[in-house]
Amino acid sequence: MSFFDNLSKKVSNTAKSAAKKSSNLVEIAKLNMNISSEEDKINKLYAEIGKIAYSSYSAGKEVPEEYKTQCESIKTCLDNIKNFKKQIMALKQIKECPSCGNELEIDAVFCSKCGAKQEIIKPENSEAKESDKNDTAEECDKCEDTQEEKSDNEQDDESETEVE
Ligand SMILES: [Zn+2]
């Protein structure tokens, strides 16, 4: 075999193996995507199992001992969410119709959707705010006291250095 024959054979071999490698990379990427999609499915199914277990727990059914801790934690989270939603509604000055869940202005007397009579929610009591103001005023007095003491000390220090 001549040198050039050998060379051309080598070149075509490397080209082939490079092409094979790149097609393998594509294949590997596809397979990794398949793995991810199967893992996503598994996670959704795990979540579904969890929801089934939790709905039994919240319906008061007997739940296996090993799920109880997680179910209790989920209940706490749901209570927290309820509480946060209430706080948001208070900030937005809205309320929820207890019979249909429709969002209403805080001072609505009837639900605009189902017509149910609404409980009148009084705005945040102003008495509490006044007492807050008093508290901050006391704190300010304290701050001023400490500041005066400090400045007295500084003056003392300065006078001492002057004497020296
Ligand atoms: Zn309603």
* Parent domain of 108: 64-121
Query: Residue 104 Cα, ligand 1 centroid: separation in angstroms?
Result: 9
Query: Residue 126 Cα, ligand 1 centroid: separation in angstroms?
Result: 29
Residue indicated by tokens 């050039």:
4
Query: Residue 119 Cα, ligand 1 centroid: separation in angstroms?
Result: 12
Q: Does residue 68 share a domain with residue 29?
A: no
Q: Does residue 72 share a domain with residue 105?
A: yes
Task: Please state the φ and ψ torsions of residue 103, each to the nearest 5 degrees.
Answer: -80, 130
Distance, in Å, from the CA atom of 51 to the CA atom of 43, rounded to the nearest integer, reads 12
pTM for this structure? 0.52
pLDDT for 99 equals 93
- Is 111 inside any structural domain? yes
Distance, in Å, from the CA atom of 103 to the CA atom of 113, rounded to the nearest integer, reads 9
In this predicted model, what pLDDT tens digit does every residue of 38-58 receive, in sequence order?
999 999 999 999 999 999 999
| Ion ligand 1, residues whose Cβ is below 5 A away | 97, 99-100, 102, 111, 113-114, 116
DSSP notation for 88-109: HHHHTTEEE-TTT--EEETT-S
Q: Does residue 51 share a domain with residue 99?
A: no
pLDDT band for position 130 (cuts 50, 70, 90)? very low
Q: Does residue 113 share a domain with residue 79?
A: yes
Q: Tell me how many domains the chain contains.
A: 3
